[in-house]
Amino acid sequence: MEAGSHTAIVGSGAVVAAVLVVIAVAVMLWLVGTVLYWFGSTFGGSHSPKSGFLPSVRWSTSRAGRVLGSMVLLIGLLLAVLFVMTILASTIPVLGAVLMVLVLGMIVPAFMGIYAIQLYLTGDS
What are 47-81's pLDDT values in tens digits?
888 888 999 999 999 999 999 999 999 999 999 99
The domain of 45 spans: 3-121
86-102 pLDDT tens trace: 888 888 888 888 888 88
6-55 pLDDT tens trace: 555 666 778 888 899 999 999 999 999 999 999 999 988 778 888 889 99
pLDDT at 38: 93
Q: pTM of this prediction?
A: 0.78
pLDDT at 29: 93
Taking alpha carbons only, the member of 61, 68, 65, 58 closest to residue 32 is 68
pLDDT at 34: 94
pLDDT at 6: 56
Domain count, the chain: 1
| Neighbouring C-alpha atoms within 13 Å toward the C-beta of 59 | 21
Taking alpha carbons only, the member of 95, 25, 84, 33 closest to residue 58 is 33
Taking alpha carbons only, the member of 122, 104, 106 closest to residue 40 is 122
